Chain A
Amino acid sequence: EVQLVESGGGLVQPGRSLKLSCAASGFTFSNYYMAWVRQAPKKGLEWVATISTSGSRTYYPDSVKGRFTISRDNAKSSLYLQMNSLKSEDTATYYCARQDRGGYFDYWGQGVMVTVSS
């Protein structure tokens, strides 16, 4: 059974940093692209980052490019999201997702809440 378990969320002040983690199990982690998707309270979904199987290629939307960094450790079956210079608009539930080679997200974690507030 595919499982994705996020951790590392919490309350952080604007301008500070936070690192999210996602522990994967139930599939060969190194064979899949992985991604982060977020959802602001009562809002829709926003893709945040994608990383290739080896980690050599990363992709971001303009809203987080230069502030967020996605990375992975295939030996540990783990995905990470380093978030710097956080803004109030980054407040959201962050989901770790497995990305099928086609580009859609076929498995999602339960999500972790990040609140950016002073």
Chain B
Amino acid sequence: DIRMTQSPASLSASLGETVNIECLASEDIYSDLAWYQQKPGKSPQLLIYNANSLQNGVPSRFSGSGSGTQYSLKINSLQSEDVATYFCQQYNNYRTFGGGTKLELK
């Protein structure tokens, strides 16, 4: 099984700040990686797929990058509505999720 390790587990940032969340795969997943945002009490929503493709309707302040085993989600100019938990997911071999990163406002 491919293991996905996300860091940090929690993060506190100020409005307007740039935030980076990392995801490390236990083996090469060839950019078969998605990022999701889950707000409290809501279902997850797809943000990024294929490591760097922005899902329709997602603000351009969100971006994804990476290859091989290392991937990251970047949020530019943090907004209050970005407070959420973020998950990465690999789909190269079955599907596994990272443990999540809880993003709060400082």
Contact = CB atoms under 8 A, between A and B. Distances in A.
A46 interface: yes
A99 B7 CA distance: 26
Nearest to B89: A104
A45 B87 contact: yes
Contacts of A109: 43
Contact of A61 (B89, B94, B98): B94
Contact of B87 (A44, A103, A106, A107): A44
Given A45-B44, A45-B87, A103 B32 contact: yes
Chain B, interface size: which category?
20 to 34
Interface residues of A, number: 22
Interface of B: 1, 32, 34, 36, 43-46, 49-50, 55, 87, 89, 91-92, 94-100
Given A44-B87, A45-B44, A47-B95, 11 more contacts: A37-B44, A45-B36, A45-B100, A61-B94, A95-B44, A103-B32, A104-B49, A105-B44, A107-B46, A108-B45, A109-B43
29 contacts: A35-B95, A37-B44, A44-B97, A44-B100, A45-B87, A47-B94, A47-B95, A47-B96, A47-B97, A50-B95, A59-B94, A95-B43, A95-B44, A100-B49, A102-B91, A103-B91, A103-B95, A104-B89, A104-B91, A105-B44, A105-B46, A105-B89, A106-B46, A106-B49, A107-B46, A108-B45, A109-B43, A110-B43, A111-B43
